[in-house]
Chains A and B, each alone.
Chain A
Amino acid sequence: MKRKSKPVNDVILQTAAIIIFFIIVIFSIDLFFAGHYSPGGGFIGGLMTSSALVLLLLAFDSQTLKTVLPIDYRLMTATGLLIALGTSLHSIFWGRPFLTHAYDKFHLPLLGEQTLHTAIAFDLGVYLVVIGVTMTIIQTIGESE
């Protein structure tokens, strides 16, 4: 594939992409946290975040994305799997069956009293795996000549 010698001028696309990127990411985080009580969760949140990254890929190129977000998505997949498995494993040490979840109320700075559930850590694992896998697929297909 030959690059065009004359750079294309897509100021509108790039400017819009930067703004929309943040809106999509915030929406995906909202979806991720909404998962327990309303539609959403790790899978759809992860897909939405990676779609925001794909938008950056379309507006700029893969090299730019790498400099802005220097993330190895394969390691991200592995991290996600490790978090998910670790969350499932923790109950073993308390003598409970595998995958037993726990929750408690915590007093967090800024947020006040909040209930935290280990299912969110499992979901975080799913979220990272989905982003990692999607971006690995897109990057490897995009970069192979």
Chain B
Amino acid sequence: MINLPIFPIVIPALAAIIMMFMPKRVVIQRAMALGALVLTLIVSLFLVHTVSIDGIQTLNLGDWMAPFGITLVSDMLSALLVTTSTLLTLFVVWFAVHYFFESYEGNYLYVAMLFLLVGVNGAFTTGDIFNLFVFFEVFLMSSYVLIVLGGRGVQLRESIKYLLVNIIASALFVMSVALLYSVTGTLNLADLAMKIPLIENQNVITAIGVMFIIVFGMKGALVPLHYWLPGAYVVAPTPILAMFGALLTKVGVYSIFRTYTLLFDGNGTFLQTFLMVLAVLTIFIGMTGAIAYNDVKLIIIYNIMIAVGVILYGISVNTQTSLEGSLYYLIHDMLIKAVLFMLVGMMIGITKSGLLRDMGGLITRFPMLGWTFFVAALSLAGIPPLSGFFGKLLIVSGGMDEGELFAPILVLLSSLFVLFSVMKIFMYGFWGEAKREYDGPLAPFAKRLVIPVFLLLAVSVAYGFGAEWIHPYITQAIEPLVSPEIYIDAVLKE
């Protein structure tokens, strides 16, 4: 089936469009959203299987040959990320079905969530840099809707900031694409990868590379472009926050992954130092924020930044080992951040306060919630059998192999800070005496809400325990990044 790469994009789009005809029929909306996501998940798993057997799948849209039309490229990297994002959207929507009230769901909520997935899956799959921009806009538009839906004052305030930052970033993206096009005369990623080494003045390419890192860094919250992240994410309702925290910043990270390894030859140049310094700074600021705050949402939000920094450090080292580590950690982090955001959202919904000093003793009434959080916290910090371990191990050993010491030690130290910050939530929130009767709006639904979270955590734990089984897929995903010729040959089919 030659059209296989398009299905993870088209199925949620088609479901969302049909759902637009009946915005007020909430029950049908829920069923259609979940059904479409299950279908997408099956298709994307089949895509992973096909890619693992037949190699990179390409699809020339409209039957136009590769550098002239839009090409969709599903290599193992994008197939794995598409599967991960579909999987966690499925669980987040399941969570949202129990979390939201009908009046809230009737305002195109699931339509926006599905379109967000369309944008994310499209951005992971596309092989054309302008098409990447378009898919960025698709999921950004959906995220604007989702962040403002509900219309509370703080949401309006933060959505204006979020909108402004993203519009500026998108304008910069267009300018970078324009610059790249004026230098090379092509937009197809594989064709760009062939043409860029032929350019005489490589300084221009370095400048464009820096511009792309700034653009994707703004989307992915790299220091010093992270200032919008804490405020914008803290106001979003829990399921929306879980989707944002798990998907949006990671698309920026994926784009750096792709452009940095494919277009810009990273090793030993200014670009490598630049990315490395930003990654180290991001880890550092993330660590500071994670231990500084007393608000559970903010603690997890700063943990996003630590993870982005760690992944980008692995990318900037740019060896086989460190890239494998980065990819392994990227998938782990997408899963576990969604789990953690849903869990702290439940804590806030039960205790009616986001602050640690108003919580306490939750474990006696909600043991399932407590132990799920405990395992998720250990997994986030990277305790060996769980999923956070192998990625960080590979990143650290990749950095050490290149003769660096400072950054790998910082990565290890960041694990300690991550563990400290989430254990602080666990100890203050779940242990000790209850501060008062917990009868927040979510308290009666806690038992139902914890099921999707628990299942997603189970997937994440299985991902850790099955590391040996996953490893061939990860290796295959890294191949076209280490030697771009594989990618170029698959797309251009000389």
Contacts and interface: CB of A to CB of B under 8 A. Distances in A.
Interface of A: 74-75, 77-78, 81-82, 85, 89, 92, 95-101
Given A75-B21, A85-B10, A99-B62, 6 more contacts: A74-B20, A77-B20, A85-B17, A97-B2, A97-B61, A98-B10
Contact of B61 (A78, A81, A98): A98
Contacts of B6: 92, 98
B14 interface: yes
In the complex, the 4 A-B pairs of residues with the closest C-beta atoms, listed nearest first: A78-B20, A99-B62, A99-B61, A98-B6
A81 B62 contact: no
Contacts of B61: 97-99
Given A89-B10, A97-B3, A82 B59 contact: no
Contact of B62 (A74, A77, A95, A101): A101
A99 B2 CA distance: 13
B3 A92 contact: yes
A10 to B, nearest CB: 36
A92 B54 CA distance: 21
A126 to B, nearest CB: 14
Given A78-B21, A101-B62, A85 B13 contact: yes
Contacts of B21: 75, 78
Nearest to A86: B14
Interface string B1-45: 011001000100110011011010000000000000000000000
Nearest to A92: B3
Contacts of B20: 74-75, 77-78, 81
Contacts of A89: 10, 14
B63 interface: yes
A89 B13 CA distance: 12
Interface in B43-72: 59-63
Contact of B63 (A74, A92, A97): A97
A95 B20 CA distance: 29
Nearest to B19: A78
15 contacts: A78-B21, A82-B17, A85-B14, A89-B10, A89-B14, A92-B3, A92-B6, A97-B59, A98-B3, A98-B6, A98-B10, A98-B61, A99-B62, A100-B62, A100-B63
Contacts of A81: 17, 20
B205 to A, nearest CB: 32
Given A85-B10, A89-B10, A92-B3, A97 B62 contact: yes
Nearest to A98: B6
A77 B63 CA distance: 28
Contacts of B2: 95, 97
A100 B20 CA distance: 26
B69 to A, nearest CB: 9
Interface in B245-287: none
Contact of B17 (A78, A98, A100): A78
A98 B6 CA distance: 7
Nearest to B108: A74
A74 B63 CA distance: 33
B149 to A, nearest CB: 15
Interface string B146-164: 0000000000000000000
A78 B3 CA distance: 24
Contacts of A78: 17-18, 20-21
Contacts of A100: 62-63
A101 B69 CA distance: 13
Contacts of B3: 92, 97-98
Contacts of A92: 3, 6
A6 B23 CA distance: 40
A99 B5 CA distance: 13
